[in-house]
Amino acid sequence: MKISFIKFSLIGLISLSLLSSIASQTKKIQDKAVEPTAKEAIKQILSNGDILLSVDSSCKSVGSSPKDKTILDFLSGILSFQAAPNSDNRIEFAFKREKGRKNELIWICDLTFFGKDTEDVWSNGVRFKMRNSDRKLLRDSVMCIGTG
């Protein structure tokens, strides 16, 4: 009886050691700071296009139409201006890392659309936070940025 108890204890210790090692490796991967790509940022904001413009006061009345209610409506309007004839337009990304809740690594993502035509210069876009660990957008972090 003592021999089998010792076997199970040894197996238990080895199992705990292996699990601890695996958990440690996973944490190292999650803690490694990997800046998002522009493609990842675009995918996240478009995948969450149903976020209402009421998410933040900075998004009040930013749409290109009074009917615009969501982030996707807002971005669709901005993108439509990118194709305007006789204009000089570009898209820029900026990423800044910060520590979120529970010291979690978070990326602040700025997606900004710039435009210049014969009369106006403008910039509009969105700022949002994305977790480093699973690359998911934090829905309550979305803000509208730019000069109008």
Residue from 63, 79, 82 nearest 71 by CA: 63
Q: Which of 38-47, 59-68, 76-85, 101-110 has the lowest mean pLDDT?
A: 76-85
Provide the pLDDT for residue 81. Answer: 82
Q: Which of 19-28, 63-72, 124-133 has the lowest mean pLDDT?
A: 19-28
Output the CA–CA distances (angstroms, integers) from residue 21 to 10, 46, 90, 91, in the order listed. Answer: 16, 37, 47, 43
Give the E-state strand segments of the chain in sequence order.
90-99, 105-116, 121-131, 137-146
The number of angstroms, rounded, from the C-alpha of 103 to the middle of its chain's C-alpha atoms is 17
Provide the pLDDT for residue 49. Answer: 97
Which tens digits make up the pLDDT trace of 100-144? 888 999 999 999 999 887 778 889 999 999 999 999 999 999 999
Output the CA–CA distances (angstroms, integers) from residue 147 to 3, 28, 99, 142, in the order listed. Answer: 75, 40, 28, 17
Would you say residue 61 has pLDDT above 60?
A: yes
